[in-house]
Structure 1
Amino acid sequence: MNKEELQKIKKWLPRGYAKRIYLETGISFVTIYETMNGKARNKTVLDAAVAIAKEEKERVENIQNEVSTL
């Protein structure tokens, strides 16, 4: 995964995403941050990060839709 793709994922990750990935996978914070900064490759971390980013994007879009209907 290149740096541009990682930036797209990181754009949607909420604060505390690393702790959530750590709790779900047991992978160290160092590996999580290195993976998300393109210095390491870990498929498990990337899969978890993409899932969290999708959830966050959907949550933000739902909030925006609710606000627009007010």
Structure 2
Amino acid sequence: MATGRLRAGAGTGRWVADEKGQSTVEYLLVLSAFLAVVVVLGLLWHAGRDGALVGEATRAASHGTAQGEVALLKDVLGY
């Protein structure tokens, strides 16, 4: 864990190299994860707005409704 300690005996006030590198990597990981979440939410927003999500749900559910009510009940109650 980075504590921000100064290099012992150097007297220059520079950060320890491995701690500075660790914080940079942590910042990069958090930033990339946040951007990925924002992009995925944007894609879902556009798919929902355009009706693509409703279309996919209808196509996925239509396999049971086309075969009749008995087949639909067997499919639903079987899981």
With structure 1 as the length reference, what TM-score do the two structures score? Answer: 0.45
- The structure whose Rg is larger is 2
Higher relative contact order (CA 8 A, sep 6+): 1
